[in-house]
Structure 1
Amino acid sequence: MLRHIEITECPRDAMQGWHRPIDTSEKVNYLKALLKVGFHSLDCGSFVSPKAIPQMADTATVLSEISAETGTNKLLVIVANERGGEQAVLQDKVTYLGFPFSISPTFQQLNTNSTIEESWQRVQRIYKLCRLHNKQLVVYISMAFGNPYGDEYNAEIVYNWVNKMKELGVNTISLADTVGLSTPEQVFDITKKVIDNSPGVNIGVHLHSTPQMALAKIEAAYNAGCNKFDSAIGGIGGCPMAQNDLVGNIDTSTLLYFFQDKQVQLEIDTEAYRNAQAIAASIFY
C-alpha cells in the first residue's frame, strides 16, 4: 500500500519516569540499538530542569555518544522553555525540538511551571530559535482528548490552538493523549478534522492507552488519515507530572502488528528490532 508512515520511537518518554536511575551507558547502548531499527525518528532526550526530570539530566552527554551513528534517523528532544531551547539548538544532530503545549491550564502549570499564555509566548520564542538554527519545532497539543483535572475541555479548544500554531508557522503538530483518556471515536473525529483543515501540516498522534484499547485507537487515527505515530517498545512511559497512575505509550509492537495487518510497507529491520526489545527488557525491569 502506497502510504508513507512515520514512526517516532519514544525512549525518552519511557525512561523519564522510570523508578530507578538509568545509567548513561545503558541509555547510549539502547539508543544505538534503536538507531539500527529504521524508525523515522527517535524522541531521545530532553533539555529541561534536572530537578523536575532528573532521569534526563545527561541528555547532552548521551547525544554526544550517539551522534556519529544516527544515519538517516532524525533526533527529537523535548524542551519546556527558551533556556532549554537554547541548549537544544546547539546539538548538531538534533532535527526536532518538541514543546509540550497543554490545553489544560492545570497540567501546563504542573508540567512546565507556566500558564497557557506564558507557554504560548515560549512557543513563539522557541520557534524563532529553531528558524535561526535550522531546526524544526514540533508542538504537542497535550491533553488534546480531555484531562483528569476538571479543566474546561471541548474539541473547539483543540482546533483553536492548532490553528494558532499553524498561523505561527509550526508545520508538525502532534495530538497527545497524555493520560490515556481518549476513546477511539474521539481520536477519529478530532484527528480527522485537524488533518482535513491542515493542508501542508504534518499532523501526528502521541497516544497513551491500555493494551486493550491500543489497536482501536491506532485504527481510529489511521482511518482519520494520520500517517505519523509515536510509540515506545513495551508500551512503557507516561509523564511523571501528570498523575500517579501512569498510562503507558502505545506499544511499538502493537503499532507494527497493525501496519503489517494493513499490508503497509515499513522499513523496519526485524532483527535489529528484536535486539532493541531485548535491551529494553534489561533496562525496564
Structure 2
Amino acid sequence: MSTATLPNSTEGETRTVHIREVGPRDGFQNEPETIPTADKIRLIDALGRAGLKRIEVASFVRPDVIPQLSDGVAVLQGIDVPDDVARMVLVPNSKGLDNALAHRDLFEEVALFVSASETHNKRNINRTVQETMDDVRAMGGRILAEDLTYCAVIATSFGCPFEGAVPMDRVLGLAEQFAESGATEIGFGDTTGMCNPSYAGRFFAAAVERLPGVEITAHFHNTRGQGLANAYAALEAGCRSFESSFGELGGCPVPAGSTGNIATEDLVSMFHEMGVDTGLDLGSLIEAARDAQSTLGRKLTSHSIIAGPVIWSPSV
C-alpha cells in the first residue's frame, strides 16, 4: 500500500482511518429478495478475512417490517470472523434491545438511531423524534451496563426527502443528547445522498469541535454520485471514522430513489491511493464484492468490481 505524503500533511505523516462495513445490515435489508442465511455467513466471513475490524451484522427489528434480516440471530451464531472483529447490531427501541440482549454473547457493539427529520423518523419507526430520544436515555444506560460499546446513528443528517434541508444545529443537538446518554461514537447518515462536499467539510469540522472525545463517523450514500467526494471532504475536516458497504449495496427502505452506500472497496481504493492507512486488504474486499454480485445475480454499482485495484502508486 502506498504511503505517499498528502498535499496538506507533514513530511512522512500517514493518516489512519477506521472503516465499519455495514453491507450485511444496511445493504442486505434493501434487497428485494431474502438472501439465504448460508450466503450471508459466507460473505461476512470473507469481509472479516479482508481485515475489517468492525462489521454491522444484524438488526433486531420486527421481522414483518424487514424480513430480509429476520435470520439475524442465526447469522450471528454462524459467522466465523477473527476474534478482534467487533460485531454490531442495530436496535430501534427498548423491545428490540430486550431481544438483542437475550443473545448478548453474540456481539460487542449496539447502535441506536434516530432521524433528524420528524417525517422520516415517523415513517421509519413510527415515532416522533422526542419519543425516540426519551427511549434512548434508558437504552443507553442498559447498553453500558452490559459492557457493550454504545454507538448512535443520526439518519437524514444532511437532508430529508420529505422535509428538505435539515438544520446543522438540530443534528448536532441530537448528537449532544446521544453523547450525554453515554454514546462513545456518533454516526451521521446521508440517508438519501443529499450531501455535497462543501457542506460535508463544514459539517464535520463543526461536529469535531462540538463533540470532543466522541468518535465521529461519516456514513455517505452515493445516490447522486458524490459519496467519495463527501468522504474526502469529511477526512480533510478531521473525520477519521467511516461506514461503507461492499458492492455499494444498500439504500433506505422508506423513501423511493435511495440507492446504495459508498462502496467499501471504492472508499478503500481512494484512501490507499492518497496514502491513507485503512489496514484493509483491497484485493480481498473486491473479491467479496464480486462474490456478492454473483450471489445476488445482478450487476452491482461498485467501480472497483470492474476496474480492480490501482496498480500505479503516486509514491513511485
TM-score range, shorter chain: over 0.9
Asked if the contact 1:75–1:94 (Cα under 8 Å) also holds between the matched residues in 2, the reply is: yes
1:151 shift after superposition? 6.2
1:132 shift after superposition? 1.7
Name the structure 1 match of 2:94: 82
Residues 1:256 and 2:261 aligned together = no
* Structure-1 separation of matches of 2:203 and 2:21: 23
1:128-161 deviation per Cα after TM superposition (whole angstroms, max 9, x unaligned):
2211211122111111111111267211111211
Equivalences for residues 167-246 of structure 1 within 5 A: 167-210=180-223, 212-241=225-254, 243-246=255-258
> 45-54 or 158-167, which moves further after superposition?
158-167
Equivalences for residues 85-96 of structure 1 within 5 A: 85-89=97-101, 90-96=103-109
* Structure-1 separation of matches of 2:281 and 2:104: 27
1:2 shift after superposition? 3.7
Say which of 19, 26, 35 aligns to 1:7.
19
* Structure-2 separation of matches of 1:50 and 1:266: 34
Name the structure 1 match of 2:78: 65
Say which of 141, 157, 173 aligns to 1:160.
173
Asked if the contact 2:141–2:181 (Cα under 8 Å) also holds between the matched residues in 1, the reply is: no
4+ residue runs over 6 A deviation: none
Asked if the contact 1:8–1:42 (Cα under 8 Å) also holds between the matched residues in 2, the reply is: yes
Structure 2 unaligned blocks of 5 or more: 1-12, 299-316
Name the structure 2 match of 1:277: 289
Asked if the contact 1:175–1:191 (Cα under 8 Å) also holds between the matched residues in 2, the reply is: no
* Structure-1 separation of matches of 2:183 and 2:143: 10
> 97-106 or 57-66, which moves further after superposition?
97-106
Structure 1 unaligned blocks of 5 or more: none
Say which of 127, 147, 154 aligns to 1:134.
147
**Alpha-carbon spacing, 1:211–1:35, altered in 2? closer, same or farther (3 Å):** farther
> 265-274 or 70-79, which moves further after superposition?
265-274
Asked if the contact 1:9–1:43 (Cα under 8 Å) also holds between the matched residues in 2, the reply is: yes
What code does the residue aligned with 2:245 have? A
* Structure-2 separation of matches of 1:187 and 1:110: 25
Name the structure 1 match of 2:113: 100
Asked if the contact 2:191–2:258 (Cα under 8 Å) also holds between the matched residues in 1, the reply is: no
Higher Cα radius of gyration: 2
1:162-186 deviation per Cα after TM superposition (whole angstroms, max 9, x unaligned):
1212222211001111010111111
Asked if the contact 2:193–2:227 (Cα under 8 Å) also holds between the matched residues in 1, the reply is: no
Equivalences for residues 9-48 of structure 1 within 5 A: 9-11=21-23, 12-48=25-61
What code does the residue aligned with 2:205 have? K
1:210-258 deviation per Cα after TM superposition (whole angstroms, max 9, x unaligned):
47322211111101101100111121101112x1212210111221122
Asked if the contact 1:105–1:151 (Cα under 8 Å) also holds between the matched residues in 2, the reply is: no
**Alpha-carbon spacing, 1:150–1:270, altered in 2? closer, same or farther (3 Å):** closer
In the superposition, the TM-score normalised over structure 2's length comes to 0.85
In the superposition, the TM-score normalised over structure 1's length comes to 0.94
